[in-house]
Structure 1
Amino acid sequence: METGSGRDTEVAGAEPVWTGLPPGLLRMRRMLLVVWLGLIAVGLGVLLGLLCGPVWAAFALLPVALIVWGWVLIGRNWRSWRYAERADDLLISRGVLWREETVVPYGRMQLVEVTSGPVERHFGLASVQLHTAAAATDATIPGLDPAEAERLRDRLTELGEARSAGL
């Protein structure tokens, strides 16, 4: 089935076509990890070195170990995020240990927002926030390219208006 945006969606009974998040989100999250934990490591190393001696400054390697561990976990988390546009709803899937799949019917959408904070704008990213009639089903798709976020907002708004017209 062909949509108005030129993207393929699933054929009746077939698996949905999943779209992953762009690598810019992965770069942004890893950069934030390195900056914050790197600053903590340097500060801790200098502080312990001056106050307790150089042997104690070795404890500054703990934040460095957290950088390595966090690097891997951020990559796994980034790969777990995906979304699919179906004929009647939007699927959002995420999670590594605990998989979570959210189904948002187009007719239940009340508001679709595109947001982009200063760090996201620096990396050329935007997030799509979906608000529905039930607060528990509000959903977010983070780290999209701004053009894709706007396209998705416009498509979801159009489909939401078409589906809710009969209520």
Structure 2
Amino acid sequence: MDPSATAPTVATGPVAPSTPDVTLFGDGGLDWRPVSPKLATARFVVLGCVAVLPLLGALALAIFVSAWLWLAVAFVVVVVGWVAWVIGRQVPMISWAETAEELVIRKGRLFRTVVSVPYGRLQFVDVQSGPLARKFGMATVELHTASPESGGQIPGLPTEVAEQLRERLAARGESQRAGL
């Protein structure tokens, strides 16, 4: 008879509660919440405003100066099309999740970034909304910690969600810091 088979197991310390894995790819068992699809529309509006002047300038030069400058028009159209494609691919990949100990933000399709901000490190939570974001009913939640590199931001949240998240994060940050 094997003595290890009958020996009781001894716990060596407190067992940590199971927390979901924060992984670079895959969901890791977290409840990821996407940002508003209106963020893509707002970014398309900004792209259109920025692209109008170069496009009109290239068109004017092509019409009045030289036919060779139609290549400039084509170049501007290709660049605007590529940026629009990138916006359409990037925005759906921005998501966030709340765990018991931290807020996790992930961005990027090709170059993936995952930022975990522990609630106890939060100094303050900022909600920002410019004129275009207000027009689309969105806000950006920015997390500030003692180190500028360890903060994060979630763009394109519906305004109500952003305000509720700010309140929850402020409360969790205060309770986590109180335990220090």
Give runs of aligned pairs for residues 6-155 of structure 1, distance below 5 A: 12-14=18-20, 15-50=29-64, 52-155=65-168
* Number of positions where the alignment pairs a residue of Structure 1 with one of Structure 2: 156
Q: Is the 8 A contact 2:93 2:107 kept in 1?
A: yes
Distance in 2, Cα, partners of 1:71 & 1:85: 30
Q: TM-score, normalised by structure 2?
A: 0.80
Instruction: Calculate percent identity across the aligned residue pairs.
Output: 36
Question: Residues 19 and 82 of structure 1 are in contact (CA less than 8 Å); yes or no, is this contact kept in structure 2?
Answer: yes
Q: TM-score with structure 1 length normalisation? A: 0.86
Instruction: Tell me which amino acid in the other structure corresponds to 1:141.
Output: I
Cα-to-partner distance string for 1:77-104 (whole Å, 9 max, x where unaligned): 1122110000111000111222111111
Compute the displacement of 1:48 (Å).
Answer: 3.5
Whole-angstrom distance in 1 between the partners of 2:59 and 2:170: 52
Q: Equivalents in 2 of 1:60, 1:105: separation in Å?
A: 48
Structure showing greater Rg: 2
TM-fit CA distance, 1:20 = 0.6
Runs of at least 5 residues in structure 1 that lack an aligned partner in the other structure: 1-10
CA drift of 1:120 comes to 1.4
Inter-partner Cα distance in structure 2 for 1:88 and 1:43: 53
Contact 1:46 1:57 in 2 (8 A): no
1:108 shift after superposition: 0.7
- Whole-angstrom CA distance in 2 between matches of 1:114 and 1:145: 11
Alpha-carbon offset, residue 13 of structure 1: 4.4
Superposed CA RMSD in Å reads 1.7
Q: By how many angstroms is 1:55 displaced? A: 4.2
Runs of 5+ unmatched residues, structure 2: 1-16, 21-28
Q: What is the letter of the counterpart of residue 49 of structure 1?
A: I
Q: 1:118, CA displacement in angstroms? A: 1.7
Structure 1 runs of 4+ with >3 Å offset: 11-14
Q: Equivalents in 1 of 2:172, 2:73: separation in Å?
A: 53
